[in-house]
Amino acid sequence: MPHFTYTDLHTFTYNIFKKMGCPSHDAELAADVLLKADLRGVDSHGVARLVGYVRLWEKKRINVRPAIQIVHETPSTAVIDGDGGLGLLVAPFAMKVAMEKAHSAGTGWVSVRNSNHFGIAGYHAMMSLEKDMIGLAMTNASPLVAPTFATERMLGTNPIAVAIPADQQPPFVADFATTTAANGKLEMLQRKNEQAPLGWVQDMQGNASTNPHELSKGGALLPLGSDRDRGSHKGYCLGSIVDIFSAVFSGANYGPWVPPFVSFLPLSKDPVGEGIGHFLGAMRIDAFRPADEFKRNMDQWIARFRSATPVADQERVLIPGDPEREMESIRLKEGIPLLEPIVEDLTALAKRFDMSFIE
Amino acid sequence: MPHFTYTDLHTFTYNIFKKMGCPSHDAELAADVLLKADLRGVDSHGVARLVGYVRLWEKKRINVRPAIQIVHETPSTAVIDGDGGLGLLVAPFAMKVAMEKAHSAGTGWVSVRNSNHFGIAGYHAMMSLEKDMIGLAMTNASPLVAPTFATERMLGTNPIAVAIPADQQPPFVADFATTTAANGKLEMLQRKNEQAPLGWVQDMQGNASTNPHELSKGGALLPLGSDRDRGSHKGYCLGSIVDIFSAVFSGANYGPWVPPFVSFLPLSKDPVGEGIGHFLGAMRIDAFRPADEFKRNMDQWIARFRSATPVADQERVLIPGDPEREMESIRLKEGIPLLEPIVEDLTALAKRFDMSFIE
């Protein structure tokens, strides 16, 4: 598989956002957020999505000169209107507001409407770490997931990220879709022509299936837990909570009304809100406990869990964030691998803007 | 199965707490919290646990005259020391503080140390509903759960509850253990001598098992998701987040150090904090959006999800909180069923205090 340096892909992505009309500092930040996904191994949310953002912009569903605004606030909360901007920019704006609120009130909680897809949730949650704050980020997304006992797609993969600082240990960073598996993993199986494990998807009648193409035939992704016996109603609860905090709090579209990321699908004719919604949170550690005490305890927590006895066929027990951090350090050194179809997409995208893709 | 009225069981429970030395209003509240579990069908967390609380008290692990105190606070946060009191009392105290903070600052977040088991998380989260607030409640618990790839028990079933008010519709109330199945469900299978579905437990080597007695042989409960392929690392993340918010924020015991609920197990000789920990949150709806707008949208959210097309063998799609609310209305009318061994336990308990159980 061809590999590309972070710098080359970042520069290319920056240039594309500039060509779309983003101001330089916006193009820079949007490229940072997108490329962070590639670095951390979340290939489905990185530069592979750049073409998708461009197509939404071509359909005038993304505003590259948004006036992002606080429309309501209290000491610890705010609602932000993203003015149809890139979620890659709206979410960091909102996270900064959450952190300012946390600075003065102890915690800050921001619900966002009228936004678009925001890349990986982890990027936004991790913004809090250097300020000795815990960061939370969630977003709703276009409906691909059937609630327990349903055949209809009602929820997105609605991810949750939580970043918690430690002292000597690297931070605890959880970042996961509230489904059994993220849609990106399913797309990888489609490309490789492999079957999915049972519990990832159901067919259009709601039967368990291992066919990774089930979504194109009216099937659905399954909530974390897979089926009722194994707790899928809990994954359904989690996805619903993300949807409500992100969209009912803010006045964005929710549930089956959330607009699609793919530009060839039409927008709903009876929207219940504006754009998609996010929810960002920041909690100042020393609003609870002196930060050094907390971080020493986190070091102990992490060290103890990392030293838990592993099962026979595994070397070790992982801490949330370990795999992504290790991937980031490898890819910074060895480059970011891109599948051939992605390289072709990006080459065509370059041509569309009279540029060339990385030589 | 013998049935008992809510009033009879409540009076009995109240009297036991009085005999333990609780002031009347504390005994009243503790009985309310415990009985709410029986009403809502969470039989494992109700009056069946009364004997367990008494045994902890006999071992001097529960303080029936606690001086529950705020030990640190900011406009939107507080840390509370439960002084070894019943979690059934400490958690409502903490939730009230969270709601007061939300009243003035928009949201309130309270981490609690030095507490004991707090009954069902849903009770505390639901306290917020009549104030037009969203309520959150979580707690850590004694270690029964193995992280993904581990054989050691490191986490409790660490439940999360989120209560969200609506207008005409009943509220959305999610209340779930962050494991595939709660320990109470496993205990029910043990009594009935039935096998567990795959994905609930593993044996002491970490192999999948359907034996509901696996925990007594060194096995462990599994995080929501069951196994790595089906996202157990996400359940592990959730349980960990609950543990950290409840205990590292507050200075309670965390992970494998959390004290046991059963009194015959010894306390850790090297505790890392005090008692067990909880985390309570309240968000005032109108800190985000006018409450009537929010609640109208929630009505629409709930109605739309409830009308989602069900799979062939199911009548309907449920909203979180539906089954428990329906159970509550049935049990208020028809009484609360108790298994014979529970009735025997309670009869013995009555005798211990020179009382008689319900005639």
- The verdict on residue B316 lying in a domain is no
pLDDT value of position A111: 98
* Average pLDDT value over all residues in chain B: 96
Q: How confident is the model at residue B187 (pLDDT cuts 50, 70, 90)?
A: confident
The DSSP element (H or E) to which A251 belongs, if any, is none
Question: Are A121 and A233 in a shared domain?
Answer: yes
Query: Contacts of residue A237 in chain B, CB cutoff 8 Å?
Result: 162, 174, 176, 320
pLDDT at residue A78, rounded to an integer: 98
The verdict on a CB contact (< 8 Å) between B230 and A200 is yes
A334 in a structural domain: yes
Could you give the CA distance from residue A137 to residue A337 in angstroms, rounded to a whole number? 27
Contacts of A210 (CB under 8 A, 6+ apart): A195, A196, A197, A198, A200, A201
Residues 6+ apart with CB under 8 A from A202: A146, A151, A208, A209, A214, A219, A220, A222
CB environment B179-193: b (16+ within 10 A), e (fewer): bbbbbbbbebbeeee
The C-alpha of B5 sits at a distance from chain A's nearest C-alpha, in angstroms, of: 30
Show residues of chain B in contact with A172, CB under 8 Å. Answer: 240, 244
Please report residues of A whose CB lies closer than 8 A to that of B105: 74-76, 105-106
Please state the rounded mean pLDDT for residues A202-214.
96
Band (pLDDT 50/70/90 cuts) for residue B9 is: very high
Q: B320 and A155 in contact (C-beta within 8 Å)?
A: no
Q: What is the pLDDT of residue A1?
A: 86
**pLDDT band at B103; cut points 50, 70, 90:** very high
Q: Is B272 helix (H, G, I), strand (E, B) or coil?
A: coil
Would residue B296 count as lying in a domain?
no
Residue B354: count of CB within 10 angstroms of its CB: 7
What mean pLDDT do residues B133-159 have?
Answer: 98
pLDDT, position A358: 87
Question: Is A133 within the bounds of a domain?
Answer: yes
Q: Which helix H or strand E contains B184, and what residues bound it? A: helix B183-192
Query: What tokens appear for A29 in the block?
Result: 């930040």
Q: Do A317 and B147 touch (CB under 8 A)?
A: yes
Q: Name the residue of chain A whose CA is nearest to B154's CA.
A: A305
Listed by number, the residues of chain B in 19-48 with a beta carbon closer than 8 Å to a beta carbon of chain A are none
Q: Which residues contact A94 (CB under 8 A, 6 or more apart)?
A: A78, A80, A82, A110, A112, A124, A278, A280
- If asked whether residues A125 and A150 sit together in one domain, one would say yes
Q: What is the pLDDT of residue A185?
A: 87
Strand partners, A357: none
Q: Using the beta-carbon criterion (under 8 Å), do B176 and A233 form an inter-chain contact?
A: yes
Q: Are residues A45 and A92 in the same domain?
A: no
Length of chain B: 359
Residue B184 banded pLDDT, cuts 50, 70, 90? confident
- Higher model confidence: residue A326 or residue A358? A326
The tens digit of pLDDT for each residue in A103-151 reads: 999 999 999 999 999 999 999 999 999 999 999 999 999 999 999 999 9
B223-248 burial: b if 16+ Cβ within 10 Å, else e: bbbbbeebbbbbbbbbbbbbbbbbbb
Question: Residues A108-120: pLDDT tens digits?
Answer: 999 999 999 999 9
Same-domain check for residues B104 and B114: yes
Q: Do B298 and A234 touch (CB under 8 A)?
A: no
**Residue B106: which of A75, A146, A235 has the nearest Cβ?**
A75
A337 touches B at CB < 8 Å: no
Q: Do B317 and A149 touch (CB under 8 A)?
A: yes
Distance from C-alpha of A350 to C-alpha of B4, rounded to nearest angstrom: 74
Q: How far is B150 from chain A (nearest CA, A)?
A: 4
Residue B109 has pLDDT above 80, yes or no: yes
Domain membership flag for residue B295: no
- A64-73, B274-283, B337-346: lowest mean pLDDT where? B337-346
Which pLDDT score is estimated for A184? 83
For residue A68, what are the β-bridge partners? Answer: none
A314 located within any domain: no
> Which run of H or E residues covers position B34?
helix B24-40
Residue A49 shares a structural domain with residue A123: no
pLDDT of residue A263: 87
B199 to chain A: which residues are within 8 Å by CB?
226, 229-230
Query: Cβ contact (<8 Å) for A272 and B149?
Result: no
Give the distance from residue A1's alpha carbon to the nearest chain B alpha carbon, in angstroms.
Answer: 25
Buried b (16+ CB within 10 A) or exposed e, A198-223: ebbbbbbebeebebbebbeeebbbbb
- Which pLDDT band, with edges at 50, 70 and 90, does B192 fall under? confident
Q: Is residue A240 part of a domain?
A: yes
Range of weakest confidence among A177-186, A195-204, A345-354, B91-100: A177-186
Q: What ipTM was assigned to the predicted interfaces of this complex?
A: 0.98
The answer to whether the beta carbons of residues A212 and A195 sit under 8 Å apart is: yes
Taking the C-alpha atoms of residue A13 and residue B142, their distance in angstroms, rounded to an integer, is 48
pLDDT 10s digits, B51-90:
999 999 999 999 999 999 999 999 999 999 999 999 999 9
For chain A positions 281-300, those within 8 Å of chain B (CB to CB) are 283-285, 287-289, 293-294, 297-298, 300
Give the pair of three-digit tokens for residue A49: 């999505």
Cβ–Cβ < 8 Å for B141, B258: yes
Please identify among residues 179-198 of chain A the ones whose CB lies closer than 8 Å to any CB of chain B. 179-181, 197
| B158 and B46 within one domain | no
Where is pLDDT greater, at A253 or A186? A253
Checking if the pLDDT of A359 tops 90, the result is: no
Section A10-18 average pLDDT: 98
The number of folded domains in chain B is 3
State the residue range of the domain holding A173.
66-180+225-287
Instruction: With beta carbons under 8 A apart, name residues in chain A contacting B300.
Output: 272
The percentage of residues in chain B with a pLDDT greater than 90, rounded to a whole number, is: 93
Q: Is residue A299 part of a domain?
A: no
The residues, ordered by sequence, that sit 6+ positions from A130 with a Cβ below 8 Å of its Cβ are none
Residues A125 and A239 in one domain: yes
Question: What CATH number is attached to the domain comprising A212?
Answer: 3.30.60.50
> Smallest Cβ distance to A304: which of B104, B256, B316?
B256
A327 three-class SS? helix
Query: Residues A155, A271: one domain?
Result: yes
DSSP H or E stretch at residue B297: helix B291-306
Q: Is the pLDDT of residue B16 over 90?
A: yes
Q: Does the pLDDT of residue B182 top 90, yes or no? A: no
Which residues in B lie closer than 8 A to residue A162 (C-beta atoms)? 237, 241
CATH of the domain at A272: 3.30.1370.60
B151–chain A Cβ distance below 8 A for any pair: yes
Average pLDDT of chain A to the nearest whole number: 96
**What is the C-alpha separation between A119 and A117, in angstroms, rounded?**
6
Burial class (CB in 10 A: 0-12, 13-18, 19+), A141: buried
3-state helix, strand, coil in chain A (%, to 5): 45, 15, 40
Query: What is the C-alpha separation between A178 and A54, in angstroms, rounded?
Result: 27
Statement to judge: residues A21 and A42 lie in one domain: yes
Claim to verify: residue A241 and residue A119 sit in the same structural domain: yes
Taking residues A271-295, what's their average pLDDT? 98
| pLDDT beyond 90 at B185 | no
CATH code for the domain in which residue A6 is found: 1.10.1530.10
Dihedral sign for Cα B104, B107, B113, B119, please.
Answer: positive
Q: Which of B77, B180, B288 is opposite residue A287, by nearest beta carbon?
A: B77
Report residue B244's pLDDT band, with 50, 70 and 90 as the boundaries. Answer: very high
Residue range B261-320, pLDDT digits in tens: 988 899 989 999 999 999 999 999 999 999 999 999 999 999 999 999 999 999 999 999
Q: Cβ distance B30 to B93 under 8 Å?
A: no
User: Residues, chain A, total?
Assistant: 359
> Does one domain contain both A139 and A244?
yes
Is A340 an interface residue toward B (CB < 8 Å)?
no
H/E stretch holding B126 reads helix B121-126
Judgement on whether residues B39 and B155 belong to the same structural domain of the protein: no
Kindly state the tokens that stand for B274.
């005090």
Taking an 8 Å cut-off on Cβ atoms, the answer to whether B151 and A311 are in contact is yes
Interface of B with A in 105-144 (CB under 8 A): 105-107, 109, 111
CA distance B330 to B39: 8
The whole-number pLDDT of residue B334 equals 97
pLDDT at A58 over 80: yes
A287 to B148: CB separation less than 8 angstroms, yes or no: no
User: Which pLDDT score is estimated for A12?
Assistant: 98
Helices (H), chain A: 6-20, 24-40, 50-58, 87-105, 121-126, 183-192, 232-243, 291-306, 322-334, 340-352
CB distance B288–A79 less than 8 Å? yes
Put simply, whether B96 touches A (Cβ < 8 Å) is no
As beta bridge partners, residue B185 has none
CA distance B303 to B333: 27
- B146: pLDDT confidence band, cut at 50, 70 and 90? very high
Residues 236-265 of B with CB under 8 A from A: 236-238, 240-241, 243-244, 248-251, 254-256
Q: Which residues of B touch A164 (CB under 8 A)?
A: 241, 244
Name residue B72's beta-bridge partners. Answer: B79
C-alpha span between B99 and B109 (Å, rounded): 9
Query: Using the beta-carbon criterion (under 8 Å), do B248 and A317 form an inter-chain contact?
Result: no
Which of A178-192, A264-278, A342-356 bottoms out in mean pLDDT, i.e. has the lowest? A178-192
Task: Say what percent of chain B tops pLDDT 70.
Answer: 100
* Verdict on whether the full-model pTM lies above 0.95: yes
